[in-house]
């Protein structure tokens, strides 16, 4: 299987602590790095965890709060110092240009590459990126300002053709591609061999979703149904439920309820409030509802 | 003596490494923190080294390169999250407003405190801050863009009155302040007692200067003559002298020559290029010229 790997660079929230960095993570799909959010210090975290800046393909920003974007000026500058020439697509709310344009004007007018701001629709489920092997969707979350969740999914892979069937029916090379895509085979003496005899199904496409920051929002369930891994914010413990509601954040239990209702395989919780030194409580509250829960931590790697 | 302490938060240069953070340091004068430069991650470094954000008095920015300013959005936001109400003076080149205003407009319109941008004169030696006990001067350096060095100095302290003289001449309490400031004393029977008999001199005012980033610039020597501690950039080793000239930076030897010519007591070198994993070479090149040289390092504390 090709690589489909998440690296957590930061899973803290707005107030910095010595325990957690602000939000950022990398989705490595087949040696291309897709960054989600870019809090202050993200480029330093990339260095720390030895992720290669040359592999950075594009950046997806969930929303325009400082703890999700203040690492952009430094990272974008460093990419130029490194001599990047390929365009960089930055997916974010349209208002990103209010922050980005003055920065580019002053600091980036001699950048070695071009930054394309691609505005996200804050209201609708939307395909925002596609290549040969994958798709990225965005969908609305519910926070104090417009916020998007993201789904990264593999495209369906061709079926595996059985080696012994190629030999047994002497299947010509030129027909193999079609058979992998589902075609039947007709032998020289006119006999039809059904595709299911010749092939085995490919593994189901893997899917990863990022939902941060957001209040409890069951409306997202259709977009993340049955996925392999869900990263969902859980800023607060249940005891601070009122604060969660006021600030449009989720509790650990709420994150777990979303994971359970969406029938995901694994849940990673993150975006922890600085008020908690110990996160066991959050983990316990989540696992009580959905056992396959893990706490995010800086440097954590999740292979799908 | 009152506190006069420097904490190095970052002494790397433009390209981030796992060894060094970008430029920032704190001058603690009598429990007030004056920040010099604010590279990305500075607020995280403040947390790491347990310096108190509530003590932050003002910020001095040497020049508008990213590795000296990209920590500002995060730090300024956090001060508001912490509920600061006192104005914050930010001393920087006038063009700082091109970066700062869009940021404040978008992220800071509900800040709990006001930021005053105080433009620095990039051409002249200038008194920029003064209170009861100290002064801060700025002076021009020589870099690719307008850059200022800073001098922090104590004001002259009153002389120490000798306890035994107060008793011997029965000096009234109300005259003590004048005597500390240099007045003589006349006894009840009209005898004049010279101030030098009654007092001992206070220790000489302590002085600290920050010179980064700059090419070799002997013109700064009059501003930093005889000071206690000089922080001078030494981005390069002598072998990379050509690169130093091209980029308007200094070598370690040049920093030491400035320290020697200015007759400073101690030299701290910093702003190290990311090309050096080992800094012994830079230290050796500097100490060959000026023995009282130390390498800056993150978390280093210098007491004057």
Which position among B28, B37, B67, B213 bears the catalytic label?
B67
* Number of Cβ within a 10 Å radius of residue B94: 14
| pLDDT tens per residue across span B278-289 | 999 999 999 999
Smallest Cα–Cα separation from A75: which of A53, A98, A96, A90?
A53
| pLDDT tens per residue across span A210-247 | 999 999 999 999 999 999 999 999 999 999 999 999 99
pLDDT band at B3 (very low <50, low <70, confident <90, very high): very high
A13, A22, A73, A146, best to mutate vs chain B, most B CBs in 10 Å = A73
Instruction: Name the DSSP class of A162.
Output: P
The residues on B that touch A, with CB distances below 8 Å, are 14-18, 21-22, 40-41, 43-44, 47-48, 64, 66-67, 70-71, 73-74, 77-78, 81, 95, 98-99, 101-103, 105-107
A67 is catalytic: yes
Smallest Cα–Cα separation from A298: which of A271, A280, A265?
A271
Looking at residue B1, its pLDDT comes to: 80
For every residue of chain B, which 3-state class applies, written as one string? CCCEEEEEEECECCCCCCCCCCCEEEEEECCEEEEEEECCCHHHHHHHCCCCHHHEEEEECCCCCHHHHCCHHHHHHHHHHCCCCCCEEEEECCCHHHHHHHHHHHHCCCCCCCEEEEECCCCCCEEEEECCCEEEEEEECCCCCCCEEEEEEECCCCCEECHHHHHHHCCCHHHHHHHHCCCCEECCCCCEECHHHHEECCCCCCEEEEECCCCCCHHHHHHHCCCCEEEEECCECHHHHHHHHHHCCCEHHHHHHHHHHCCCCEEEEECECCCCCCCHHHHHHHHCCCCCEEECCCCCEEEC
Comparing CB atoms, the residue among B18, B99, B103 nearest residue A48 is B18
- CA dist A42 and A50 (Å) reads 12
B15: chain A residues, CB-CB within 8 Å: 78, 81
Comparing CB atoms, the residue among A16, A73, A99 nearest residue B70 is A73
Average pLDDT, chain A: 95
**B6 and B263 Cβ atoms separated by less than 8 Å:** no
* Number of Cβ within a 10 Å radius of residue B45: 26
| pLDDT tens per residue across span A147-170 | 999 999 999 988 999 999 999 999
Looking at residue B16, its pLDDT comes to: 83
| pLDDT tens per residue across span B146-205 | 999 999 999 998 899 999 999 999 999 999 999 999 999 999 899 999 999 999 999 999
Instruction: Name the DSSP class of A291.
Output: S
**A13 and A273 Cβ atoms separated by less than 8 Å:** yes
Mean pLDDT in residue range A79-108: 93
A38, A66, A101, A243, best to mutate vs chain B, most B CBs in 10 Å = A66
Mean pLDDT in residue range B126-136: 96
Token pair 């969406």: residue: A262
A24, A75, A77, best to mutate vs chain B, most B CBs in 10 Å = A77
Q: Search chain A and give the residue with CA nearest B19.
A: A48
ipTM over 0.85: yes
Answer whether residue B105 shows pLDDT above 90: no
pTM of the model: 0.91
């Amino acid at each position: 299987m090709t690589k489909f790997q998440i690296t957590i660079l930061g899973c803290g929230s707005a107030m910095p602590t010595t325990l957690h960095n602000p939000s950022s993570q990398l989705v490595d799909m087949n040696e291309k790095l897709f960054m989600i959010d870019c809090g202050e210090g993200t480029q330093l975290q990339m260095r720390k965890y030895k992720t290669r800046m040359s592999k950075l393909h594009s950046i997806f920003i969930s929303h325009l709060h400082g703890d999700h974007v203040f690492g952009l000026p430094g990272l974008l500058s460093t990419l130029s110092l490194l001599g990047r020439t390929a365009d960089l697509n930055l997916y974010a709310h349209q208002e990103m240009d209010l922050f980005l344009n003055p920065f580019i004007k002053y600091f980036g007018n001699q950048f070695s590459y071009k930054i394309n701001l691609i505005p996200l629709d804050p209201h609708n489920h939307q395909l925002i990126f596609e290549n040969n092997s994958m798709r990225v969707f965005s969908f609305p979350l519910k926070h104090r300002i417009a916020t998007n969740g993201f789904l990264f999914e593999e495209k369906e892979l061709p079926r595996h053709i059985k080696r012994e069937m190629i030999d047994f029916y002497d299947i010509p090379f030129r027909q193999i591609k079609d058979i992998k895509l589902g075609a039947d085979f007709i032998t020289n003496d006119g006999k039809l061999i059904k595709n299911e005899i010749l092939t085995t199904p490919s593994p189901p496409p893997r899917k990863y979703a990022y939902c941060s920051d957001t209040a409890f929002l069951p409306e997202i369930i259709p977009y993340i149904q049955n996925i392999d891994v869900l990263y969902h914010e859980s800023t607060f413990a249940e005891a601070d439920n009122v604060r969660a509601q006021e600030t449009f954040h989720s509790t650990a239990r709420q994150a777990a309820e979303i994971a359970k209702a969406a029938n995901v395989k694994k849940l990673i919780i993150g975006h922890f409030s600085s008020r908690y030194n110990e996160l066991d409580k959050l983990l316990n509250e989540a696992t009580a509802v959905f056992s396959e829960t893990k706490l995010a931590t800086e440097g954590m790697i999740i292979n799908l």
